[in-house]
Chain A
Amino acid sequence: GESVGLHLPTLSVQEGDNSIINCAYSNSASDYFIWYKQESGKGPQFIIDIRSNMDKRQGQRVTVLLNKTVKHLSLQIAATQPGDSAVYFCAENRHPGANNLFFGTGTRLTVIP
């Protein structure tokens, strides 16, 4: 069936290095994707989003890349900091304008000081 998934469940990086978290999706009709960060005991926090008419979007220290050909999404975090340690989810909004998200399984990012 259709799904949104991640390649790796865990990722460890040294403080100051760049992090790359990957996500694959299977619904070729999907046109809106979001990355969330979830810290322990908290709800998911919006990081950045991208629509299918774009292949790259940048925020503060974060960049999302979308490759529609291979249905792949990635989140790049520059100069990773200890505060970036969290679980990261990609989510697919199959009904733009609605609030109806399908989440991937998540990647736990650990930043090593």
Chain B
Amino acid sequence: KAGVTQTPRYLIKTRGQQVTLSCSPISGHRSVSWYQQTPGQGLQFLFEYFSETQRNKGNFPGRFSGRQFSNSRSEMNVSTLELGDSALYLCASSRDSEAFFGQGTRLTVV
């Protein structure tokens, strides 16, 4: 059974640019959540999508957005990148309460 797949694994972007990250959940999982992990703030919840609708949202600015497609694949977008957006972005999929994480996308903003 394939796990959660995140692409790309690594990204380098310049301040002011925008970026789109992709997540393919485990087959049959309809919930996809996104998290940001930094050394200073730890793991923080960004948002959750279920059946193409945002179900929960964390405390991040509007520059962070996401969407989910009918096949449950999800994308998150960060616009007007700031240096502080450098982080590991993790996606997790779940069917019930147990969440399975991907390996993440390491974003570096320069």
Q: Interface readout for A61-97 with B: 1 if CB under 8 Å, 0 if not? A: 0000000000000000000000000000101010111
Contact residue range for chain A?
20 to 34
* A44 with B90: CB separation less than 8 A: yes
Tell which of B44, B55, B101 touches A45, judged by Cβ atoms closer than 8 Å.
B101
Tell which of B45, B93, B96 touches A101, judged by Cβ atoms closer than 8 Å.
B45
* B56 with A95: CB separation less than 8 A: yes
Contact stretch, chosen from A13-21, A22-30, A52-60, A102-110: A102-110
* A99 with B93: CB separation less than 8 A: yes
Report Cα–Cα, A41/B58, bound state, in Å: 24
Residues in A with CB closer than 8 Å to B31 are 98-99
Assuming the A-B contacts A43-B102, A99-B48, are A106 and B42 also in contact, with contact meaning beta carbons closer than 8 angstroms in the complex? yes
Report Cα–Cα, A34/B100, bound state, in Å: 12
Interface residues of chain B, those whose CB is within 8 Å of chain A, are 4, 31-33, 35, 42-45, 48, 50, 55-56, 90, 92-94, 96-104
